[in-house]
Amino acid sequence: MTSASPLLSVSGLTVEFKTKRGTVIANNALSLTVDAGATLGIVGESGSGKSVLCRALLGLLPSPPAHVHAREIRFAGRDLASASAHDLRQVRGQDIAMVFQNPMSSLNPVWPIGDQIAEGLRVHRGFSRAQSRKAAIAVLKRVGIASPEIRVDDYPYQWSGGMMQRAVIAMAMVSEPKLLLADEPTTALDVTIQDQILSLLMELQRQTGMAIILVSHDMSVISETCDHVAVMYAGHIVETGRTADIFRRPAHPYTHGLLRSIPHVHGKATRLASIPGQPPDLAGLGLGCPFAERCAVASAECRERPIALAPVQGDHQTACFFPERVQELDRKRAS
């Protein structure tokens, strides 16, 4: 997206699961890039394939049942698509870190938090016990834990949900990663705690210049944290572009529908525009646009022609054949 080569560039990433009911294509020929120091937001509803994408990037999907193939996964000049398990492990431990939704399931309940945070340093960098403890205290302080020199010996059950999510972020930050994958990092948290964690993530990004891929179902979270957005639906990226473009001039009916179905806290309360129907069964997906069944402006062509991202303007791309119809949706609603 800039002239320098991006930190991460993925092209043609496809993830399939062989199931009894047929082949489920959870990620369908996805391409994306992330620049150093920038945030890419991946937004979509349950089952759209956002978490599978994160796990595929890190090589965390067990195969079978998953089949992952990609034309290219290039990270900081290295090709991850053909990397050995051992090399991937090195990258995971040092350059790419991940934060999951539920901090409780990322922490071992019977092991002190400090030890868990520093484990990576001992394994990957050969830190001694004293060194790693010192590093754990430093990173806990950085993520806003009060009196870290005492709390480093605590067990997870002694901490609240918000504190545990800070611990998980600390665990990710301790190796100073170039890329942080955050999969719904605030979904399990209360709104005031979510607010704290989002501020923390953005501040850490400013300080360290790490890139972030932030996966969320919540458009409002994306709006305050991301430079670029990729909207996922039924395993496809259906629209991608700069955050402001996506929010101000959505060029895909699904993005439009998502934005209009949010009940707002600020501004006027209006009747919500819901998207009719429900997401399709990924095992029985046909050739055409996966959103066609729920789309108010789809025509017969949409159900037959295979979709592909096409430019709208600049780096704003949509997989809709008729992006000009998206404006019609607002007029339709008004009347």
User: Footprint of another protein on this chain (CB under 8 A)?
Assistant: 39, 45-46, 160-163, 190-196, 198-200, 202, 206, 217-221, 223-227, 243-244, 247-248, 257-258, 261-266, 269, 271-276, 278-279
- Cα radius of gyration rounded to whole Å, the chain: 21
By C-beta, is 50 or 133 nearer to another protein?
50
By C-beta, is 255 or 318 nearer to another protein?
255
CB of 161 to another protein, least distance (A): 8
Pull the structure tokens for residue 272: 């919500």
CB of 6 to another protein, least distance (A): 18
**Ramachandran quadrant class, 60 (left: phi over 0; alpha: psi -120 to 50; beta: rest):** alpha
CB of 272 to another protein, least distance (A): 4
CB of 66 to another protein, least distance (A): 23
By C-beta, is 7 or 121 nearer to another protein?
7
Q: Could you tell me where the DSSP H helices lie in 68-210?
A: 85-94, 103-106, 113-125, 129-142, 148-151, 161-173, 191-208
CB of 226 to another protein, least distance (A): 8
Amino acid letter, 335? S
By C-beta, is 133 or 151 nearer to another protein?
151
By C-beta, is 86 or 266 nearer to another protein?
266
By C-beta, is 22 or 306 nearer to another protein?
22
Report the C-alpha dihedral over residues 320, 225, 69, 318, rounded to 10 degrees: 10
CB of 45 to another protein, least distance (A): 4
By C-beta, is 118 or 189 nearer to another protein?
189
Report the C-alpha dihedral over residues 214, 219, 222, 223, rounded to 10 degrees: 170
Long-range interactions of 188-192: CB distance < 8 A, separation 24+: 188/101, 188/102, 188/103, 188/161, 189/161, 189/162, 189/165, 190/161, 190/162
By C-beta, is 271 or 331 nearer to another protein?
271
* C-beta of residue 53 within 8 angstroms of C-beta of residue 42: yes
Angle, nearest 10°, between helix axes 113-125 and 85-94?
130
| Residue (of 100, 80, 82, 81) closest to 91 by Cα position | 80
CB of 282 to another protein, least distance (A): 13
- Contacts for 103 with CB less than 8 Å, ≥ 6 apart: 161, 164, 165, 167, 168, 188
CA distance 68 to 55: 10
CB of 222 to another protein, least distance (A): 8
